[in-house]
Amino acid sequence: MNFGRYIIRHEIGRGGMAVVYRAYDPKFKRDVALKVLPHYLLNDLAFRKRFDREARIIASLEHDAVVTVYDYGESESKPFLVMRLMTGGSLIDRLQKGSLSTQEIEHIMVRICAALDKAHAQGVIHRDLKPANILFDDSGQPFLADFGIARLTDATQTATIVGTPQYMAPEQALGRKIDARTDVYQMGILLYEMLTGKTPFSGSESSGILYQQVHEPPPSLRRHNTRLPHVYQRIVDGSLAKNPDQRFPSAGALANAFSAAVHGRPIITPAPNRSRGLWAGVGVAFVFIALIASGLLWFRTDNLVVGGPIAPPSATTTVTLTPTATPTTPSVATATIARETPATATSTTPATPAPIPTATQGNNRVPILPTDTPVLPQLTPTSTATPPLRSDGLSGRIVFTRNPQGHRFETTEVVVLDLDTGRTTQLTANDVADWNPDWSPDGQAITFTSFVSGNYDIWVMNADGSNRRNLISTPAWDDYPVWSADSAQIGFISTGVTNDVPNSELFTGSSTATVRQISFNTGRDEWPSWSPDGQFIAVSSDQDGDFDIYVYGIGGGVTNLTNDSAAFDEQPNWSADGEWIVFIRKTSDTNGNGRMERRDDGDYGNVFVMRRDGSDVRQLTFDNAAADPAWSPDGQHIVFSHFKDSNGNGVLDIDDAADLWVVPFGGGTPITLTSGSEQDWSPDWTQ
C-alpha cells in the first residue's frame, strides 16, 4: 500500500481518528511518519476538514519543538500527512519505565510550553495534551505532536466536548469557550503525572471523571510522593485551578515557575481556589444538560484582573471615605491612663489630635517623657555587611522584625537594612520581644512594641537605636504602633471593651495626650495604618466574622472597604500619596490545620492593592506566602515578608523562616532583599 511516492513499511500507531505508519520517502531517502484517516472516517466531511486543518496548523507554527510536517496530499481520495519520524518513543514509554528526574521534567516542560506559547500566539489551542502526544527523537529531545483536535480561538466557539477525559480542563468538559489557559490546565495534569506517575483524576466518563475535573480538587502530590517539595504543589495548584482566571496566564509562565523551583529561585504562582467544586452534589449529566440547554451557568469568577483594573464594587457595596455614624455606644476601656470618650456619632470633623511635646534636635523630633518613665537599656548597634551597592535601583532604609533561627518570639529584635550600603544593623537586643517597628514620617525615629517592662507597651527610639524610651503604657497588650503623618500621635491596638466584651480595638495617643478609643465592636481590630492626611486609619477587622479592611475616621465613622466571605483581607498599609492601600488577601489554609486563620496565627496570602475607596483591586503576588506589606517612599515598590517551608513539614506556618521581598507596584518579578534561616517580617520603608 502506497501513498503517492511514499512506501508503507508498517503500522506504528492507531487512534480513534488516525492511523500512523512508518513509511519510506525515496526522493529524500529517509523514513517518515505517514498519518492517514481510518477507512471508516474517509466519507466524514468534518473529519476530513479537521485533518486538513491539522496539516495547515502544524506547517504554520515553525517551532523546533513541534513535529515537522514534510508534506500533505491525497491518494485515491485518501488524505495523508507526512511528518518527521520520531524514533525515541513517547512520554508514555518514559513514564512506564519509572520516575523522571526533576531535570528531565524541567526540560520537557520548558520545550513543550515554549511550543505552546508559539501556538497560542498564533491563535491555536492544542486541547489534547497527553503523554501520547509528547514524542522524543533519538537524542531525547521532546516534541509536541498531534494537533488533530487543535482549535483556532475566536469569539464564536460553540459547545463541543472533545479531548481525553483524564486531561480535560473544566471548561472543556463543560463545552464552554476555551483559550490558552485550557492548555495550561492540561500541562498541569502532565506535570502532576510526571512528578507522581499518576494523573490526579482517573476513570471513564461513565464513572464520573468529568465530574471530578469540574468539581473536585486534585489530590495532594505528597499523597503519592512525600519527598516532593511543597513549592511543586503550589505550581500544580496554579495550573489546575477550576477557574481559568486563577491559573498561570501562559504555558511559559508555568514552565518558568517550575524551572525556578527546581533551581531554588523565587517564584510567583497564581492563587487558585481549591474548593470542592462549583456545583457540589450535582451529577455530570445534569450539569451538562443544564449548561448546554441554558448557557447560563458557568464558573464563579472574581472581578480580579491581574495587574489591571477591575470593576468597582456593586451599588449595594459602594463605599465612601466620608465618616459615618459610629455603630455602637462606646464604653471607656480600662487602663491606668485616662482614656478619652470618643467623638459623638454625628461628628464629621476630625478632632484635632493633641501634639507630643518635643525637643527639637535638627530634624529629629524626640518626644519628652515623664521623668519616671522606664528606659530601655541602651545597646550599641551591631552591623553586618551584606551585598554592596544594589543594581536594581532600590534605595532607602527598611526597618523590620527579625526572629533568630528557631523563631522564638520572645527573642525577636528590631533590625534596619540600609539599601544604599547593603548593611543590616540590629537596634535592640533585650532577650524579650521587640517587634512591629514603624518609621516616623521624617525617618528620624522608630516606634515599636516591646516586652522589656514585663508588659507589651509602645516604645520609641532614635533611628540609630539610641534614646529608647517608653511612649504609651497600659495594663493591656499594646501593639501595632503607627505614626500619624504629623508625628503628633501614635495609632495602636489595645484591649477595649464594647458591649461588655473585651477585645482588641483601635486607639490613638501619646506619652502625654489622653488615649482615645477609636473603634467599637466585638471583633478584633489589628494592623492599623494612618492615612497621610491624618483623617483616617485603616485596619483589618473580623467584626463581620472574617477579616476585612475597614477605615475609621478620626472624628468618627467607619467604612467597610472589602467584604469577601471567602477571603481574609488583612494588614492594610496606606501609600504616601494617600491614593492606594496595599493589603494581604488570604484564600487558603497554608499551615495545614484545616481552617483559615489570621496572619498572627500562621496563615499567609498574596499581596493586593486597591484604591482608597476599595475599587481597582490588583493582585501582585501569587504563591500564598506573603505577609506584612509596606510601600517604598516613592510608591513604586512594595516590600513584604515571604515565608518558606524551612522546617520541611510541607506547609507554611508561623514557625517557618521568612525573607524580605520587594515587588513593583505595577507587578513583576519580586526582588529578594534578605535570605537566611531567620524570620524577617513586619517591614517599614523610609528614605
Please list the active-site residues.
128
CA 506 → CA 145, 349, 489, 490, 552, distances in Å?
Answer: 61, 19, 13, 11, 9
Nearest to 560 by CA among 572, 42, 439, 39: 572
Cβ-Cβ contacts under 8 Å for 334 (sequence gap 6 or more): 475, 476, 495, 497
Q: How many residues does the chain have?
A: 687
Helices then strands, each counted (H, E), the chain: 9, 38
CB neighbours (10 Å) of residue 192?
24
- If DSSP codes are grouped into helix, strand and coil, which group holds residue 640? strand
**Tell me, what DSSP letter sits at residue 543?**
T
Using CA atoms, how far apart are residues 130 and 163, in angstroms rounded to an integer? 10
Nearest to 618 by CA among 304, 319, 317: 304
Contact predicate 479/599, CB 8 Å? no
The alpha helices in 139-280, defined as continuous H runs, are 170-173, 180-196, 209-215, 230-239, 251-262
Using CA atoms, how far apart are residues 566 and 558, in angstroms rounded to an integer? 22
User: What's the longest Cα–Cα distance across the chain?
Assistant: 105
Using CA atoms, how far apart are residues 663 and 645, in angstroms rounded to an integer? 20
Residue 260 grid coordinates: 525556578
Residue 68 grid coordinates: 515537522
The residues facing 425 across adjacent strands are 383, 416
The residues facing 482 across adjacent strands are 491
Strand pairing category for 413-418 and 397-403: antiparallel
Contact predicate 399/414, CB 8 Å? yes
Using CA atoms, how far apart are residues 450 and 459, in angstroms rounded to an integer? 7
The residues facing 537 across adjacent strands are 530, 552
∠161-164-168 over CA atoms, to 5°? 70
Residue that the C-alpha cell 466524514 belongs to: 44
Give the type of residue at 426.
Answer: Q
Using CA atoms, how far apart are residues 272 and 264, in angstroms rounded to an integer? 22
